[in-house]
């Protein structure tokens, strides 16, 4: 636990919970007055989501603001919470609270990705069995045929993954551009599907996740979800697996030991601030984790 890079350092946790300053927290930890999940805490330990922290015999219930944001990811940014990874999405956005991406987009892809600080919401949205829609606009290297559209729509066997993709909606937009709506998220799925038919993907952009649209959100910026979006999202995930927890509407809290509220920040677009200049193009660009939601 001491070496886990995620979570919150115990002295910071105590300070943010209003118990005492970080310096005093260090003294209380050394004195053995802090317990994490039944074990005496040590300096440098981190508190992970779901853990129970006690100070002098009394449990600390830290109130945490719920975060769920929409981000327009540039090409080249890596969709991982691992800050050791070069050009990772967390450093690029530089959000003031701990967040992590819900799924992924390939490093070569761009467009909409959601980030949150809540694990249950993450699981409800990400699980392939929940069959939530994700919509993409794809440009390929040669003219699209009727056979290509039909083949992509009916499901494609992928040798590398030894599986056949689910049937999906595919619509031709122009000679070399099409729209595709998936309800699963295999690794590099769209690129692999296109390759089966002899096509190479030149550009891939995600424009929708469930009821959340990319719209005119500027590339490299993020925004909070609106109350209307969160209300509709709750309806869509109400039958999803992973428990009954809903996304809070503004002003409401979860009745859990970690109380979570909807963000009070304005829902206008915000520029992601990088801690250092991109190492590729003008704005940096994103890659792949092995969870279930990207292309």
- How many CB atoms lie under 10 A from the CB of residue 23? 9
Residue 74 pLDDT exceeds 50 = yes
Question: Same domain, yes or no, for 115 and 223?
Answer: yes
Residue 154 pLDDT exceeds 50 = yes
Helix, strand, coil in percent for the chain, rounding step 5: 20, 25, 55
Proportion of the chain above pLDDT 90, given as a percent? 58
For 23, the enclosing helix (H) or strand (E) is helix 22-30
Residue 283 domain flag:
no
Bridge-based pairing state of the strands 110-116 and 270-271: unpaired
Which pLDDT score, from 0 to 100, does residue 293 have? 52
Residue 160 domain flag:
yes
Phi, psi for 133 (deg, rounded to 5):
-75, 140
Which pLDDT score, from 0 to 100, does residue 247 have? 56
Residue 53 pLDDT exceeds 80 = yes
Residue 84 pLDDT exceeds 90 = no
State the Cα–Cα distance between residues 240 and 232, nearest whole angstrom: 14
Number of domains in the chain: 2
State the Cα–Cα distance between residues 135 and 150, nearest whole angstrom: 17
- How many CB atoms lie under 10 A from the CB of residue 115? 23
Residue 12 domain flag:
yes
Question: Same domain, yes or no, for 144 and 222?
Answer: yes
Q: Which of 132-136, 153-157, 265-269 has the lowest mean pLDDT?
A: 265-269
Average pLDDT over residues 144-163: 97
Question: Same domain, yes or no, for 50 and 155?
Answer: no
Marked catalytic residue, from 87, 91, 106, 291: 106
Question: Same domain, yes or no, for 33 and 80?
Answer: no
* Phi and psi based region of residue 155 (left: phi greater than 0; alpha: psi -120 to 50; beta: remaining): left
End-to-end CA gap in the chain: 33
Question: Same domain, yes or no, for 46 and 97?
Answer: no
The predicted-structure confidence for 90-146, as pLDDT tens digits, reads as follows 999 999 888 889 998 999 999 999 999 887 888 888 876 678 999 999 999 999 999
Average pLDDT, the chain: 82
Residue 90 domain flag:
yes
The predicted-structure confidence for 208-224, as pLDDT tens digits, reads as follows 999 999 999 999 999 99
Residue 190 domain flag:
yes
Residue 276 domain flag:
no
Question: Same domain, yes or no, for 81 and 138?
Answer: yes
Residue 122 domain flag:
yes
State the pTM of this model.
0.68
Domain that holds residue 14: 8-62
Residue 157 domain flag:
yes
Residue 195: which residues within 8 A CB-CB, separation 6 or more? none
Which pLDDT score, from 0 to 100, does residue 182 have? 96
Average pLDDT over residues 52-70: 86
Question: Same domain, yes or no, for 52 and 185?
Answer: no
Question: Same domain, yes or no, for 44 and 82?
Answer: no
Residue 86 pLDDT exceeds 90 = yes
Per the structure block, which two tokens stand in for 253? 């809290």
State the Cα–Cα distance between residues 100 and 89, nearest whole angstrom: 9
- Which CATH number covers residue 53? 3.10.290.10
Question: Same domain, yes or no, for 142 and 257?
Answer: yes
Question: Same domain, yes or no, for 232 and 172?
Answer: yes
Look up 106 and say whether it is catalytic.
yes
Residue 277 pLDDT exceeds 50 = no
């Amino acid at each position: 636990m001491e070496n886990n890079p995620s979570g919150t350092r115990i002295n910071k946790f105590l300070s943010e919970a209003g118990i005492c300053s970080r310096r005093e927290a260090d003294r209380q930890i050394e004195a053995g007055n802090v317990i994490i999940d039944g074990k005496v805490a040590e300096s440098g330990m981190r508190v992970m989501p779901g853990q129970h922290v006690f100070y002098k015999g009394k449990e600390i219930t830290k109130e945490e603001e719920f975060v769920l944001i929409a981000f327009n990811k540039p090409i080249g940014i890596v969709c991982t919470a691992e800050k050791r990874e070069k050009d990772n999405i967390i450093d690029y956005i530089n959000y003031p609270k701990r967040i992590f991406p819900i799924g992924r987009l390939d490093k070569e892809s761009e467009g909409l990705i959601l980030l949150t600080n809540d694990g249950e919401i993450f699981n409800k949205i990400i699980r392939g069995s929940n069959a939530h829609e994700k919509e993409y606009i794809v440009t390929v290297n040669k003219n699209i045929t009727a056979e290509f559209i039909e083949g992509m729509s009916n499901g494609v066997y992928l040798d590398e993954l030894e599986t056949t993709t689910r049937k999906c909606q595919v619509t031709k937009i122009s000679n070399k551009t099409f729209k595709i709506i998936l309800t699963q998220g295999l690794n590099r799925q769209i690129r692999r599907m296109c390759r089966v038919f002899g096509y190479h993907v030149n550009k891939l952009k995600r424009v929708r996740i469930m009821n959340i649209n990319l719209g005119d959100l500027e590339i490299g910026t993020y925004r909070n979800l609106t109350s209307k979006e969160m209300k509709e999202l709750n309806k869509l995930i109400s039958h999803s697996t992973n428990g009954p927890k809903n996304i809070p509407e503004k002003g409401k809290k979860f009745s859990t030991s970690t109380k979570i509220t909807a963000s009070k920040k304005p829902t206008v677009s915000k520029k992601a601030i990088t801690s250092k200049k991109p190492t590729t193009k003008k704005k940096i660009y994103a890659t792949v984790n092995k969870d279930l939601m990207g292309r």
